[in-house]
Structure 1
Amino acid sequence: MPANDDLALLTEAARAAGEIALRYWRKRPESWDKPGGAGPVTEADLAVNAMLHADLGAARPDYGWLSEETPDDSVRLGRGRSFIVDPIDGTRAFIEGDESFAHSLAVAEAGRITAAVVYLPARDALYAATETGEATLNGRPIRASGRAEAGRATLLTSRPNLAPEHWKDGTPPPFRRAFRASLAWRLCLVAEGRFDAMLSLRPTWEWDIAAGDLIARRAGARVTDRAGRAIAYNAAEPRAEGIIAAPEPLWQAIRGALA
């Protein structure tokens, strides 16, 4: 299936997901904590997941399925392509009524992401890319910032990632730190050039980063795990060893400074 056809499918599905999510947003949706400290989930997460699983599965019955809100099934490992989906990325923000939650939808083939959409329905911001096309925001091309110097760079990351033990000399470069709840959106903000880089040092689930990875790379950023390796998607254990996304010179500065 051509990536452009998959992109059109993901775009339609993401907008439909947004319609569902906004029916619950700021209306006190039922929520609870998942087992094992895996974070909160709401009835909206499950409603969006059910729609996406049904609609995307009907459209591409030969594709595998990997989603935060569906028990993993190893059948996906034998499929040529798989959907990788986070029904609502930034569930805590969603519960709090913040606008920064997103729907993250991607297609993986042979470890690569071939089509990707990240949609923030409360902002009506739709980021998209295919592996051979440009990254876009609401249909307009976007580019990463091109920032080279860490000392002047804005870095999207949580505060614990700047702890001394993570950096070679015990002190991170003098970034200007910022934070957004959705990992997918952080990657897209780097793609858009609104922030220069993003960093997460913790093991990171594929559904949080798959779509944003492709969008950031097609916008000119380099995206790897914390060790500098390209991330292979639809893995048997679907977690990356952290993630770094930045323009090449800034990526080199961040990676070089990490312990």
Structure 2
Amino acid sequence: MPARDLELLVEAATEAGRIARGYFQRDPGIWHKPEGAGPVTEADIEVDGMLKSRLMAARPGYGWLSEETPDDQSRLQAERVFIVDPIDGTRAFIAGEKGWAHSLAVAENGRITAGVVHLPMLNATYAATQDGPALLNGQPIHVSAQHEMSRATVLATRANFDPGHWRGGTPPACTRKFRPSLAWRLCLVAEGRFDAMLTLRPTWEWDIAAGSLIAERAGARVTDRFGAPLRFNARDPRAPGLIAAPAPLWSSLHNGLADNPG
């Protein structure tokens, strides 16, 4: 089943890319969600509608959780659930930058079994199942071999390196970089182009579902910020932050946080 689900997700993500490219750098309509939840565009809405129609027609017994669909929580009764971000990195999309992605996953009883992150403007499709390798455009990928934090490059926003978050007020001695899509950040760690990624804010499931599986299958340890395993299709679909890295770097990041045991 995960392999067949993965094939379905790849096909749907490819179609999502075709739709989104039709709006990219063409001044799509933009709205702002209530309570500062961020922007949404015509492209987000059309992609979401296509994905829901296509995926639910193929798997009518599955539940549905998407950033752009009101959540009625009927998904909580389903054994398997689609978890989708139609466009992860909408601000980058609006700005005409290429680092946005379609993130599609299937969760079964709380665990991700298949996931795809597709970046149509970069010709990159990351994919994995729960029992297979992490792939980039069909080729296996693996996390970096970097073990030393002082030589590591970590994907994170500047706010995550505020001294108040870190034991003794000292952020890790590493190089910080940023990419706009959380799903892509996880895949860049999986690919070994960056050594780790970190976010300390509550994180929506649709941002991390597919990428977390891809990073895990590439050899990363992926947990919430407190070190707990990720679980999906929760009543409140948010994780308390995220750490993804090869085991030695994961330990350095986790143990360095002020609210985690050393």
Same fold? TM cut 0.5: yes
Q: State the secondary structure of the residue aligned to 1:122.
A: helix
Distance 2:251 2:80 in 1: 32
The answer to whether the aligner puts 1:188 opposite 2:187 as a matched pair is: yes
Query: Shift of the alpha carbon at 1:69?
Result: 0.1
Cα deviation digits, residues 188-209 of structure 1 (max 9, x gap): 0000000000000000000000
Distance between the aligned counterparts of 2:80 and 2:17, measured in 1? Answer: 24
Tell me the residue number matched to 2:160. 161
SS in 2 for 1:128: strand
* Map of 1:216 onto structure 2: 215
Q: 2:172 & 2:183 partners in 1: Cα distance?
A: 24
Task: Give the match for residue 28 of structure 2.
Answer: 29
TM-score by length of 1: 0.99
Q: How many residues align?
A: 258
User: Aligned partner of 1:95: which letter?
Assistant: I
Q: What is the deviation of 1:74?
A: 1.3
CA–CA distance in 2 between the matches of 1:169 and 1:255?
A: 14
Deviations 1:75-132 (A, max 9, x none): 1000110000000000000000100000000000011000000000001100000000
Cα distance in 2, alignment partners of residues 49 and 36 from structure 1: 21
Using the TM superposition, give the Cα deviation of residue 146 of structure 1 relative to its aligned residue in structure 2, in angstroms: 2.3
- Report the 3-state secondary structure (helix = DSSP H, G, I; strand = E; otherwise coil) of the residue aligned with 1:58: helix
Structure 1 stretches of 4+ moved >6 Å = none
CA distance in 1, matches of 2:2, 2:155: 29
Could you tell me how far apart the structure 2 residues matched to 1:254 and 1:175 are? Answer: 10
Q: Does 1:251 align with 2:212?
A: no
1:241 alignment partner, SS class? strand
Q: Trace 1:1-259 onto structure 2 (pairs within 5 A).
A: 2-259=1-258
Report the Cα distance in structure 2 between the residues aligned to 1:3 and 1:191, rounded to whole angstroms. Answer: 20
RMSD (CA atoms): 0.5
| In structure 2, C-alpha distance between the alignment counterparts of 1:89 and 1:228, rounded to whole Å | 24
State how far apart, in whole Å, the 1-side matches of 2:228 and 2:151 are.
25
Q: Which runs of 5+ in 2 are unaligned?
A: none
Deviates more, 1:68-77 or 1:183-192: 68-77
> What is the CA–CA distance in structure 2 between the aligned matches of 1:68 and 1:173, rounded to whole Å?
32
- The residue matched to 1:155 in structure 2 has which SS? strand
Letter in 2 for 1:56: L
Q: Separation in 2 of the partners of 1:145 and 1:58? A: 39
Q: Distance in 2 between matches of 1:73 and 1:142?
A: 37
In 1, the alpha carbon distance for the partners of 2:109 and 2:174 equals: 36
Normalised to the residue count of structure 2, the TM-score between the two structures is 0.98
Deviations 1:221-256 (A, max 9, x none): 000000000110011100000000000011001101
